Amino acid sequence: MQFWLITLILLWPNLCQVQSYGGSRYGGNREQSIRIGLITDDESDHIRQTFEHAIAVVNNDLSVPLQGEVEHVNYGNSLLAFGQLCRLMQSGVGAVFGPSARHTAAHLLTACDAKDIPFVYPHLSWNAQTDGFNLHPHPQDIAHALYDIITQFDWSRFIFCYESSEYLTILDELISLYGIKGPVIKVMRYDLNLNGNYKSVLRRIRKSEDSRIVVVGSTEGVAELLRQAQQVGIMNEDYTYLVGNLDLHTYELEEYKYSEANITGLRMFDPAKKEVRDLLETLHQQMGEDTTQAENPAGATTITLAMALTYDAVRVIAEASKLVPYQPAQLNCSERHDNVQPDGSTFRNYMRSLEILNKTITGRIFFQGNVRKGFSFDVIELQPDGLVKVGTWEEGKDFEFKRPPQVAHFQDNEENSLVNKTFNVLISVPNKPYASLVESINTLIGNSQYEGYGIDLIKELAEKLGFNFTFINGGNDYGSFNKSTNITTGMLKEIVEGRADLAIADLTITSEREEVIDFSLPFMNLGIAILYITPQKAEPALFSFMDPFSKEVWLYLGLAYLGVTLCLFVLGRLSPSEWDNPYPCIEEPEELENQFSINNSLWFTTGALLQQGSEIAPKALSTRTISSIWWFFTLIMVSSYTANLAAFLTIVNPTSSIDNVEDLANNKDEVQYGAKRTGSTRNFFLTSEDPIYMKMNEYMTTHPEMLTETNQDGVKKVKASTKYAFLMESTSIEFNTVRECNLTKIGDALDEKGYGIAMVKNWPYRDKFNNALLELQEQGVLARLKKKWWNEIGAGVCSASSDDSGPSELGMDNLSGIYAVLIVGSILTFIFSILYWCIFVFKKAKFYDVHFTDALVEEFKIVISFSENERILKSAQSVYSRSRNSSSQSIESIETDSEDHTPQH
Ligand code: GLU
């Protein structure tokens, strides 16, 4: 019993510790623990998890455990952070870990300094003297490491690319390390806060002679810069990047792995270390993920330097607490209370005087003054396997690369193999269907943002040959070579000057270009043709019923009609049998009458022409003969007319202003024309010796406004005007005419040529490339791609057009002329009839000696009495009865002579 009592007394403190650890949040109870606070603005929450994990780990060998208190704050919210700090102080916190936001951290540091509370800042700080307790290597030490690596690289010049002015501390140190001798350093700034677009800086780098770049900046800034460098096409074997950010191992580097660009950087810890793996396991457990990643050192690099330093700082506090008893007091953060942490500064001094060799993530920790020293960097390099350690940098020791032996991944020992080579491929964007931007709601980067025939073709070739590629937008100008001035332009220039290896577009193989670059075998054949607006069906003319006969036929028909009428008239008079007794009852008449008067002759031929006949019957042989011939003639004419009429009324032939290149050269119908300003089409006319093409060249030279920068502009111009034609390559014309129904190709191709993939002159891989291209052709891949981009994607719009060949009803448009004839004929008839009626009334009035208006009124009454179809010749009531009653016979003859309204007496 006594034994148990003594044992209980001895174990009591430990039991208490265990109880308080279990009962508190992350550590022991208040009385027997050291509280440390974390104010974090880390959205991922990994800093908090690391902090808790580190406390749990260090508490395993602490007699007075640490107890963590965590406060979250929005990035940059200094006021809230200060409030949280006050709360922590009131709870008796012995050390505070600050947030990443630099200004907030500075604010909290001042408050902590005033209260003698150690302040831990686990991020890069520019002034170690004033930035609290900082385990991050000082920028000057980073500069030392960069200096040693650059010296190993033996660079004679490089670009120093920095994000913001603080990073110039590194440059400053580099320059002072070089002294008066040293490489040429070009300094360029990029700034995420300006607009996040570094491409102009990167393009300047691409155009400059430098290809070695030291990049310093924030983790996000450097990551973005590398991403954009790939887009600009400077992430390839020609470029070397030395990254001064210690978080390179956390980057998404998959995209750059095969780019052959040399990316070198620094890392403060080995991801295979036990502490790292334990931490990762805890993180993954907390996130509910599987922990296999922790066993894979290459993949387990999601621990940022800030997390590692947080972990190590907790270790430092733990070690210091072993050396000096620390009982943090509860403080009031208000200024009026000048109470401070009694042992705060002593504890901080102990923290700085420590030398810790193990159980940390970032290795050895000791301080010289306020600056951490004695650490080492892994120098890491990006290889197809991922990041590989190629050396260790330690202060004061000579640095040397110790690259592990390379493992060949793709066993292709053939000469000039393209396997794993990376090429910069120029494309022209947007230039459908060869290359265009993928339409997506997500922001695409790198090669994934482009699509098109050219893109697919390069992918097919890359699959066959095993090479990698980076697409670069080379603009609209495919380029030319001027022999006399030796000047190359556009994409040609990029290839000649080695900034790109290949170019794929609707790039025509020309002898001029072949002088400075090489082309692959042609992958598509084409010729120059004319793109023009589809001829519109003309509106039917008013007198379209006249169309079945030409004007001459109508003219001769009219003449024939008059001629036959005249013949009939003459023959009638010549033929004795045409002279008849007008009154058959009188056996021996005193006069004979001929039926073929001019009027009757006209009526007879008209009746025959209109297939209606008349009562006039020719009797003489001659008149019958001519009548028969006329009938036969009209039969053929009318049949021909009828046969042709339907076709003419229904089929309206579209008419085009231009039908061939000659029409264009002559500006027929004032049609103007142009071509792409910098293309091979324009060049064709510039160099041609054919008189027509020379004439066209002259026109285009004197009308530069007719030329366009791109084929797309040309197409737009054609669509906008009916008087503009665009000289374009047949393949591109075909692409557009399938999609734009109002566009058409006019005439045949003017020449024959092909598109090829441009490549550096004497490119060693040309033969392999050509073989692969031939294989693609033989396997039908080229045809499939052509079909896909020409006839499938976006096509089929015009096939649904209403060009049906079946019969269609005739509309008023077709027949309005006939109606017009009817209306005009009827009106004329009325006019004639009224005219003759007036003459008749006038004569009648004169005959009866009555006033014209009286006669007119009288006659009008008769006309409008529509119910009466008979008229009384001698009416007693009529105006005429008051005057010449005796002349009734003559009046009758006036009234009954309706044929010609001539009084017969
Ligand atoms: N294929 C032409 C060239 O290679 C561009 C288009 C054109 O000129 O019609 O330049």
Instruction: Kindly report the backbone phi and psi dihedral angles of residue 707, in degrees, each rounded to the nearest multiple of 5, phi listed first.
Output: -85, 155
Ligand 1 center to residue 744 CA distance, Å? 19
Q: For residues 236 and 262, what is the distance between their CA atoms, to the nearest angstrom?
A: 8
Cβ(681) – ligand 1 distance below 6 Å: yes
**One-character DSSP codes across 381-403:** EEETTEEEEEEEEETTS-----P
Q: 726 Cβ partners below 8 Å, 6+ apart?
A: 530, 531, 532, 673, 674, 675, 708, 711, 714, 715, 717, 718
Ligand 1 center to residue 113 CA distance, Å? 71
pLDDT of residue 290: 46
Ligand 1 center to residue 683 CA distance, Å? 9
The band of 9, judged by pLDDT with boundaries at 50, 70 and 90, is very low
DSSP 649: H
**Arithmetic mean of pLDDT, 262-271:** 92
The reply to whether omega before 430 is within 30° of 0 (cis) is yes
Q: For residues 670 and 248, what is the distance between their CA atoms, to the nearest angstrom?
A: 65
pLDDT of residue 368: 86
pLDDT in tens, 346-385: 898 888 888 998 889 999 998 888 888 889 999 999 887 7
pLDDT of residue 805: 53
pLDDT of residue 134: 86
Q: Answer whether 750's CB lies under 8 Å from 529's CB.
A: yes
Q: Answer whether 190's CB lies under 8 Å from 225's CB.
A: yes
Q: H-type helices in 390-468, by residue range?
A: 453-465
Residue from 477, 507, 677, 712 whose mutation best tests the ligand 1 pocket (most atoms within 8 A of CB): 507
Ligand 1 atom nearest to 727, measured from its CA: 9
Cβ(507) – ligand 1 distance below 6 Å: yes
pLDDT in tens, 492-514: 999 999 999 999 999 999 999 99
Q: Are strands 376-383 and 386-394 parallel, antiparallel or unpaired?
A: antiparallel
Instruction: Kindly report the backbone phi and psi dihedral angles of residue 314, in degrees, each rounded to the nearest multiple of 5, phi listed first.
Output: -65, -40
Element (H, E) at 728: strand 724-729
Ligand 1 atom nearest to 507, measured from its CA: 4
pLDDT of residue 858: 86
In this prediction, what percent of the chain has a pLDDT beyond 70? 87
Residue 56, classified by CB atoms within 10 Å of its CB into exposed (0-12), middle (13-18) or buried (19+), is: middle
The band of 407, judged by pLDDT with boundaries at 50, 70 and 90, is very low
pLDDT of residue 503: 95
The band of 869, judged by pLDDT with boundaries at 50, 70 and 90, is confident
Nearest residue to 676 via CA among 543, 498, 480: 480
Strand partners, 315: none
Cβ(378) – ligand 1 distance below 6 Å: no
Ligand 1 atom nearest to 506, measured from its CA: 1
Highest mean pLDDT among 19-33, 67-81, 126-140, 851-865: 67-81
669: left (phi over 0), alpha (psi -120 to 50) or beta: left
Distance of CA 695 to the CA centre of its chain: 36
- The sign one gets for the Cα dihedral 289, 295, 296, 301 is positive
**Arithmetic mean of pLDDT, 72-77:** 90
Q: 751 Cβ partners below 8 Å, 6+ apart?
A: 527, 528, 684
pLDDT of residue 417: 84
**One-character DSSP codes across 529-585:** EEEEEPPPPPPPPTTGGGTTS-HHHHHHHHHHHHHHHHHHHHHHHH-GGGEE-S-TT
Q: For residues 588 and 604, what is the distance between their CA atoms, to the nearest angstrom?
A: 29
Element (H, E) at 437: strand 436-437
User: pTM of the full predicted structure?
Assistant: 0.48
In 226-282, where do the E strands start and end?
240-243, 262-267
pLDDT in tens, 307-343: 999 999 999 999 999 988 888 988 887 766 678 888 8
pLDDT of residue 21: 33
Cβ(728) – ligand 1 distance below 6 Å: yes
Cβ(680) – ligand 1 distance below 6 Å: yes
Atom 5 of ligand 1: nearest residue by CA position: 679
**Arithmetic mean of pLDDT, 596-614:** 91
In 157-252, where do the E strands start and end?
157-162, 184-189, 212-216, 240-243
pLDDT in tens, 272-283: 888 998 999 888
pLDDT in tens, 199-254: 888 888 888 888 999 999 999 889 988 988 888 889 888 899 999 999 999 988 87
Nearest residue to 597 via CA among 631, 570, 630: 570
683: left (phi over 0), alpha (psi -120 to 50) or beta: alpha
DSSP 24: S
Q: 654 Cβ partners below 8 Å, 6+ apart?
A: 534, 535, 536, 537, 538
pLDDT in tens, 656-697: 789 899 999 999 989 999 999 999 999 999 999 999 999 999
pLDDT of residue 876: 61
> What would the two tokens of residue 523 be?
């992958």
Strand partners, 431: 435
The band of 574, judged by pLDDT with boundaries at 50, 70 and 90, is confident
Ligand 1 center to residue 464 CA distance, Å? 28
The band of 131, judged by pLDDT with boundaries at 50, 70 and 90, is low
Please tell me the least confidently modeled range out of 46-55, 124-133, 285-294, 836-845.
Answer: 285-294
Ligand 1 atom nearest to 683, measured from its CA: 8
Atom 10 of ligand 1: nearest residue by CA position: 679
Q: For residues 151 and 169, what is the distance between their CA atoms, to the nearest angstrom?
A: 19
CA distances from 773 to 4, 143, 427, 462, 470 (A): 90, 49, 18, 11, 19
Cβ(679) – ligand 1 distance below 6 Å: yes
User: Is the pLDDT assigned to residue 410 strictly greater than 50?
Assistant: no
Ligand 1 center to residue 849 CA distance, Å? 94
pLDDT in tens, 45-71: 899 999 999 999 999 988 899 999 999
Ligand 1 center to residue 748 CA distance, Å? 18
Q: 């020409």: which residue's tokens?
A: 790
Mean pLDDT of the chain: 84
Ligand 1 center to residue 591 CA distance, Å? 92
Q: For residues 313 and 800, what is the distance between their CA atoms, to the nearest angstrom?
A: 73
Ligand 1 center to residue 59 CA distance, Å? 74
pLDDT of residue 584: 83
